[in-house]
Amino acid sequence: MPTIITHPALPLAMAYGMGRNIITTKLVLAGVVASVLPDLDVVAFRFGIPYAAAFGHRGFSHSVLFALIVACIGAGMARWLNSTSSRTFFFLFFAAVSHGVLDAFTTGGLGIAFLWPWSDARFFAPIQVIKVSPFGVSRFLSPRGLAVLKSELLWVWLPSCIVMVGMVITRRLASRRQ
């Protein structure tokens, strides 16, 4: 899995690229939470739930259904987030589903249960280029942890920044034409 500091890269880039008048500060923060929320499933280990179980790591909480639930709850809070319900829904769905997508590109684990409860199958992306992050702070502060950060910078942060800059340029060009 990418680290907790990298999962927010996609919603942050999208929010900045779209602009504050479209994605409010509160909605950005909700998007950051939605992007890291699926990894709360690591608590399952403490309860003896196996990794490969439906409610184990990268199971239900990494599914499209979970992202839809998060988005629906968020849409119900749209007024508090200073946004419209449809904008909130789509942004939070993107943020939550991006978690599993990023995890599918990692070099470890058992795959992602994108289609749970319709299927117990777990999936990886066609290529796995993001080094899987170790559990625990002590393991993260090691040469392996540095390799993970380098991998995330190259395969997540750099592309996210490129897309964000492209969105900002497009937005500014469009506003000049008007």
- Residue 78, pLDDT score: 98
- Residue 143, pLDDT score: 80
**155: Cα separation from own chain's centroid:** 14
The rounded average pLDDT for each run of 10 residues, N- to C-terminus, in the chain (178 residues) is: 90 97 97 97 91 94 98 98 98 98 94 97 96 73 84 97 97 91
Read off the tokens for 162: 């490129």
- Residue 137, pLDDT score: 64
- Residue 178, pLDDT score: 83
Asked if 140 contacts 134 with a C-beta cutoff of 8 angstroms, the reply is yes
- Residue 154, pLDDT score: 97
State whether residue 178 is helix, strand or coil. Answer: coil
Say how many C-beta atoms besides its own lie within 10 A of residue 98's C-beta: 23
Residue 45 is which amino acid? F
Residue 175 to residues 15, 93, 167, 170: CA-CA distances in angstroms? 17, 27, 12, 9
For residue 48, what is the DSSP state?
A: T
State whether residue 112 is helix, strand or coil. Answer: strand
Q: Judge if pTM exceeds 0.85.
A: yes
Domain ranges, ordered by start, for the chain: 9-166
Residue 82 to residues 15, 20, 29, 89: CA-CA distances in angstroms? 14, 11, 12, 13
Q: How far is 169 from 174, CA to CA, in rounded Å?
A: 8
- Residue 139, pLDDT score: 66
